[in-house]
Amino acid sequence: MTAQPNANSFPFSLDRPASKQDADGFCSALSGTMEALLSVIEMETDLVRAGKLKEAGELQPDKARLIHEYTRGMMTAKEHAVALGNLSPSATQSLRRQHSEFQPVLRINLAVLSTARDVANSIVSTVAKAAGAKNATTPTTYGRDGGAPSGPQSARGIAVKQAV
């Protein structure tokens, strides 16, 4: 069983806003979360494009935390959309606009990560095939003991894990 974060760990309230200040505060905090997540995603995309995969991997804890906050914030915004829209229409509209601008950046990031994974899988598969081909050069005649050769051996010591 995984531990659920408590409501105090979010930079915004999960409660229904009761005033314009509550609605403005929620929208502002969620907007800040989106900006921080956008910054991390853009850094990750740039690092992966530059081939700095280790540095990109070091961003994962922050990215995971921000994605969790963003997702929970958007779920809360959806739950309280009417109250947010009535109490602070301009902040709510701004949040919607920011959310729609955020989606293309996420698609670009996913495409870059997918390409990097495909390239890495291709490299590892090529190395595994090359290592297996070296074993295929064994003699095809009978050995000293008169036994037939067992045929090409597959690569030893190389494993490819497809799940990420």
For the stretch 9-37, pLDDT in tens is: 777 778 888 889 989 999 999 999 999 99
Predicted confidence at residue 33, as pLDDT, reads 93
Query: What is the C-alpha to C-alpha distance for residues 8 and 153, in angstroms, rounded to an integer?
Result: 58
Q: What percent of the chain has pLDDT over 90?
A: 35
Instruction: Note whether 159 and 124 are within 8 A (CB).
Output: no
Q: Is the pLDDT of residue 3 over 60?
A: no
Residue 151 has phi, psi (to 5 degrees) of 95, 180
The whole-chain average pLDDT of the chain stands at 81
Q: Residue 39 pLDDT more than 80?
A: yes
Whether the per-residue pLDDT at 43 is higher than 90: the answer is: yes
